[in-house]
Amino acid sequence: MYSKNISNIYNSLQEINSKLTAQTNEFINADEAAIYLRLKKSYLYNLVYKNKIPFYKPSGKKLYFNKAELSQWITKSRLDTLEEFAQKHEQNSNTLPSLDK
């Protein structure tokens, strides 16, 4: 009984370790990239076809993605909040020359 519990714990730890190792891999395949980005795989391939997402194709067939580059790709398409937009608009209107003469 005791050895069975230890065996179960050991197997669970091995499973957790393999998942953590997979998460820390710098490069991931298309299936993993679709999951990471929460996109359908067909849409991911569409982005690749249009060269709108960074990818690697070292053997000419299989696609690979760098997780750090995918994160950068996501963050560079950030949109301003309404508050940020209003602040920028206010700053720009203060720097424009006055039309009053």
Task: Give the pTM.
Answer: 0.59
Average of per-residue pLDDT across 23-42: 90
pLDDT band at 1 (very low <50, low <70, confident <90, very high): low
Per-residue confidence (pLDDT) for residue 58, from 0 to 100:
93
Per-residue confidence (pLDDT) for residue 22, from 0 to 100:
55
Per-residue confidence (pLDDT) for residue 97, from 0 to 100:
64
The helix/strand count (H/E) of the chain reads as 5, 2
> Domain residues of the chain, as ranges?
25-75
